């Protein structure tokens, strides 16, 4: 069975919601307008319960099926936040907020889950409860973690949880999923190297932190190439390198660096963190400089549970056909804070093709409205199949 017919009728309206959200992007936990819009619509649809303020600006809608005897509860999650990017699409509904943009398609995710909520509240062809979860601050803020810490799973009795993200590297409507690690853990580090500044013409009187930091950048490349099993995945990237100096004839006192580490397994994550600290501290010491490392674990690995991943792949196949679902899709080194929800409950995360176009987080990116009926159908069928009416 392909896309649900009702969504062909609803698509123009859901597209309007998507474009309205697109025009008014909000970053991190500041999704006040979007959260109010979501909560208002959920109430209009006749959700049995609408809760706001979970995970600061998160919103949850509860929809009971025609029957609830099964006692089962399924969670569906969308993200609502935008990115600090200046939009360059020239769309008529482009961002009205300078420096903010829906460049990851969370506007589409929110609109599609709203569309599904409307249909589920209208039809209620299931036995149990569907909980629609709208989270803020997916882009690095840990909104998913905050909702879990606020008792999301316990409060609504959620037994399984599912997430979806659009993918502009795949054809429209194609789904991709795998069991096990799917997206990477994401950690960040800051390194400060303190040497001894002075006149650049007399380097022998100084300890040059720029040279020390440069050795460290090179040395860090050995974590992936020499310490990590070649069959494992890891990324170590230094993304910022700033000397305190600003003159051609002064050796500065300090250099500060920042970067990220991505892995697909806890053991590799531990290894990378330990090697980074050892390399930084001992390299600095070898040159007579001192180093301070601030290492912060951000998102864990997004790891799909086997049975829910298989179930989700089957639902995707109902919508897209057998050839429209890539099972065993390769993992990617991007990260997702849906990982916190998957650490709290069994479930699965799936990618849905957006049609090939500008990359996620690119100023020319736009969510493809033609994907709306596909995503809405996936959510609805997932609930109806997981909670069948007997």
Per-residue 3-state assignment (H helix, E strand, C coil) for 51-91: EEEECCCEEEEEEECCECCCCCEEEEEEECCEECCCCCCCC
Query: How near is the Cβ of 22 to Ni ion at its closest, in Å?
Result: 14
Cβ atoms of 292 and 191 closer than 8 Å: yes
DSSP state of 387: S
Of the candidates 137, 108, 10, which has an alpha carbon nearest to the alpha carbon of residue 355? 108
Closer residue to Ni ion in complex, CB, 104/251: 104
Calculate the dihedral angle through the C-alpha atoms of 75, 81, 82, 83, rounding to the nearest 10 degrees.
-100
Query: How near is the Cβ of 169 to Ni ion at its closest, in Å?
Result: 13
Closer residue to Ni ion in complex, CB, 167/208: 167
Euclidean distance between CA atoms 367 and 18, whole angstroms: 9
Closer residue to Ni ion in complex, CB, 206/371: 371
Closer residue to Ni ion in complex, CB, 144/209: 144
Query: How near is the Cβ of 123 to Ni ion at its closest, in Å?
Result: 29
Closer residue to Ni ion in complex, CB, 104/117: 104
Q: Which residue's CB atom is positioned nearest to Ni ion?
A: 104
Closer residue to Ni ion in complex, CB, 76/104: 104
Query: How near is the Cβ of 301 to Ni ion at its closest, in Å?
Result: 17
DSSP state of 329: P
Euclidean distance between CA atoms 41 and 235, whole angstroms: 41
Residues that bind Ni ion (CB under 5 A): 104
Euclidean distance between CA atoms 337 and 346, whole angstroms: 15
List Cβ neighbours of 344 (8 Å cut-off, separation of 6 or more): 148, 152, 153, 161
Q: Which helix (H) or strand (E) holds 217?
A: helix 209-222
- What is the token pair recorded at 340? 């916190």
Closer residue to Ni ion in complex, CB, 64/109: 109
Neighbours of 202 (CB within 10 A): 9
Query: How near is the Cβ of 152 to Ni ion at its closest, in Å?
Result: 19
Closer residue to Ni ion in complex, CB, 54/82: 82
Query: How near is the Cβ of 104 to Ni ion at its closest, in Å?
Result: 3
Query: How near is the Cβ of 306 to Ni ion at its closest, in Å?
Result: 24
Query: How near is the Cβ of 85 to Ni ion at its closest, in Å?
Result: 12
Residue with tokens 């909000």: 26
Query: How near is the Cβ of 30 to Ni ion at its closest, in Å?
Result: 16
In our burial notation (b when 16+ CB lie closer than 10 A, e otherwise), range 156-176 reads bebbbbbbbbbbbebebbbbb
List Cβ neighbours of 216 (8 Å cut-off, separation of 6 or more): 191, 193, 257, 279, 280, 283, 284, 291
**CA-CA-CA-CA torsion sign (367, 368, 369, 373):** negative
Closer residue to Ni ion in complex, CB, 104/212: 104
């Amino acid at each position: 069975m392909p896309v649900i017919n009702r969504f062909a009728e609803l698509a123009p309206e859901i597209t309007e919601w998507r474009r309205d959200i697109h025009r008014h992007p909000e970053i991190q936990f500041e999704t006040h307008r979007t959260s109010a819009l979501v909560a208002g619509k959920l109430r209009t649809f006749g959700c049995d319960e609408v809760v706001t303020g979970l995970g600061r600006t998160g919103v949850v809608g509860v929809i009971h099926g025609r029957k609830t005897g099964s006692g089962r509860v399924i969670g569906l999650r969308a993200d609502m936040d935008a990115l600090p990017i200046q939009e360059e699409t020239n769309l008529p509904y482009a961002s009205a907020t300078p420096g903010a943009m829906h460049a990851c398609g969370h506007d589409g995710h929110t609109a599609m889950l709203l569309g599904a909520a409307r249909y589920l509240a209208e039809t209620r062809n299931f036995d149990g409860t569907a909980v629609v979860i709208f989270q803020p601050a997916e882009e690095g803020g840990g909104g998913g973690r905050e909702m879990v810490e606020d008792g999301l799973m316990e409060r609504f009795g959620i037994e399984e949880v599912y997430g979806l993200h659009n993918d502009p590297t795949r054809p429209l409507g194609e789904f991709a999923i795998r069991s096990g690690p799917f997206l990477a853990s994401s950690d960040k580090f800051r390194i400060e190297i303190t040497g001894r500044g002075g006149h650049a013409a007399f380097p022998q009187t100084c300890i040059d932190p720029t040279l020390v930091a440069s050795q460290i950048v090179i040395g860090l490349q050995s974590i992936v190439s020499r310490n990590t099993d070649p069959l494992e995945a890891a990324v170590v990237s230094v993304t910022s390198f700033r000397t305190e100096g600003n003159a051609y004839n002064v050796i500065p006192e300090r250099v500060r660096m920042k970067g990220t580490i991505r892995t697909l397994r806890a053991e590799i994550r531990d290894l990378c963190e330990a090697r980074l600290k050892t390399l930084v501290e001992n390299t600095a010491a070898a040159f007579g400089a001192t180093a301070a490392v601030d290492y912060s674990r951000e998102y864990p690995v997004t790891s799909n549970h086997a049975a829910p991943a298989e179930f989700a792949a089957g639902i995707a196949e109902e919508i897209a056909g057998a050839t429209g679902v890539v099972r065993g899709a390769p993992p990617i080194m991007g990260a997702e804070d849906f990982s916190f929800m998957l650490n709290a409950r069994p479930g699965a995360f799936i990618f849905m093709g957006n049609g090939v176009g500008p990359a996620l987080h690119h100023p020319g990116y736009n969510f493809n409205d033609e994907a709306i009926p596909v995503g809405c159908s996936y959510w609805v069928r997932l609930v109806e199949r997981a909670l069948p009416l007997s």
